[in-house]
Structure formats: structure tokens, C-alpha cells
A and B are shown apart, each in its own frame.
Chain A
Amino acid sequence: QKEVEQNSGPLSVPEGAIASLNCTYSDRGSQSFFWYRQYSGKSPELIMFIYSNGDKEDGRFTAQLNKASQYVSLLIRDSQPSDSATYLCAVGIQGAQKLVFGQGTRLTINP
């Protein structure tokens, strides 16, 4: 089992809809969770991080964490074509000294 798993997609969502991206992780001791956005050929860009169970909102983005289920998700409201990218889930291990990345979910927002 991979340490961090994401559905590789592609995930296609109509413009204006909610995009839901999911990630599961295997290390129950993980305490920090990150979502990065990566445009094709570019470097990953941090969108959000979350440490506590529940929801964390930042603009159109909401991160959700459920440590009991070892599950973290990212919701993008009012999806825009500019949100089309690959979204990488990362989990902090060893006290967040290192990050383990999922393989990423490719998201396409259709106008």
C-alpha cells in the first residue's frame, strides 16, 4: 500500500461546479497535511495546509481532514478554467520533517 494515495483522474468538472479531490494516507501518526497545485511543466504551489480534524476554508478552497478515517480532501467551489491543474496531496511524516506526496489528481474544468 502506498503511503499516500490519490485518484490520478482525470477528473472533469463543469465551470462553476464544486470539484472534490480526495486523498488517503497510511501513517496514523501523521499530523500535517498539505495540498499543492501544479500546472503542467511548473513547480508545485502550496494551496492549503491543515492540522486539525474538520474543515479549513480559504476563499474558494476548503480542506477537510478526518484522522480517524485517514482521509483528507480538497473542495474547490465555483470552479474556474484556471483551476485546471494537477493537485498533489502531501502528508508530513517524522514530525513533518519530510513530506510524502501522492501521485496527484489531474483536474480539468470545462467552460
Chain B
Amino acid sequence: DADVTQTPRNRITKTGKRIMLECSQTKGHDRMYWYRQDPGLGLQLIYYSFDVKDINKGEISDGYSVSRQAQAKFSLSLESAIPNQTALYFCATSGSGGSNEQFFGPGTRLTVL
């Protein structure tokens, strides 16, 4: 089984709808991250969390919110989706010690019409 899973893998929705993307991990990591990737661009950090009670905004948090329901679960919500939020969304995890490398989930492809 994959260490970091994301659901759904693909989603098409309409402008104004509320959407939730979910991320679960079995790596036992404390830190979890949400990124978006637009075609030809690198990864932009939306939100990150270092434990259940710690939530931090990234560089592009406007229009998004998150919930850390448990150490293993980190959800991203689009309160009112708009077309320019069409992108590939990745969840990532890392441990709090050692080399701090991040491990990515398979991604969710979101299309907002």
C-alpha cells in the first residue's frame, strides 16, 4: 500500500462549489503539506502543518482552508472553487528529524469549470 494517499485522484467541479481533497499517510510523519502545481511551473505551498494543533499558511493560501483531523490526515478545502484553481494538487509528508525530505502523494487533478 502507498505510504501517502490522496482522494479523489480526479475531480471536475463547477465554479462556486465547495471541494475537499483528502490526504492520509502511514509513514508516521508529523509534518504534512499541501502544494499546487500549474502546467510548466514548480510546486507552490498552500498550507502546512507540523502537528495536529499547528496550521500555517503557505505562499498561496487565499481561497483555501485546511483541517488536520489526526496526525495521519490532512484535508484541503476550496470554499468556493474558481476556474484559476484548476491545477494538480499534491500532499506531502516529512519527519521532524533527520534529513527532512518530503514524500509526495500521487496527486489530485482538479478541474473547475
Q: Flag the segment in B11-19, B42-50, B63-71, B78-86 that touches A.
A: B42-50
Residue contacts A-B, CB under 8 angstroms, 25 given: A32-B99, A32-B100, A41-B88, A41-B107, A43-B104, A44-B43, A44-B104, A49-B101, A51-B99, A90-B102, A96-B100, A97-B31, A97-B50, A98-B48, A98-B58, A99-B45, A99-B102, A101-B42, A101-B43, A101-B44, A102-B42, A103-B40, A103-B41, A103-B42, A104-B41
Partner of A8, one of B40, B43, B88, B106: B40
Please, what's the 1-or-0 string for B82-113, where 1 marks a CB less than 8 Å from any CB in chain A? 00000010100000000111111111000000
Cβ contact within 8 Å between B106 and A42: yes
6 more A-B residue pairs beyond the given contacts A90-B102, A103-B41, with a C-beta to C-beta distance below 8 A:
A34-B102, A41-B107, A43-B105, A43-B107, A97-B31, A98-B33
The contact of B103 among A46, A88, A98, by CB within 8 Å, is A46
- A45 contacts partner chain B, Cβ-Cβ < 8 Å: yes
A98 with B42: CB separation less than 8 A: no
Taking CB atoms and an 8 Å cut-off, the chain B residues in 4-43 that contact chain A are: 31, 33, 40-43
Given contacts A98-B45, A103-B42, contact A43 B100 (CB under 8 A): no
What chain A residues lie within 8 Å of B42 (beta carbons)?
A: 4, 88, 101-104
- Please classify how large the interface on chain A is, using the bins under 10, 10 to 19, 20 to 34, 35 or more: 20 to 34
Residues of chain B within 8 A of A34, CB atoms compared? 101-102
Alpha-carbon distance between A101 and B101 when the two chains are bound, in angstroms = 13
| Distance to closest chain B CB from A100 (angstroms) | 8
Output the least CB separation between B110 and chain A (Å). Answer: 14
Looking at the assembled complex, report how far the CB atom of B96 sits from the nearest CB atom of chain A, in whole angstroms: 9
Separation of A92 and B45 alpha carbons in the complex (Å): 13
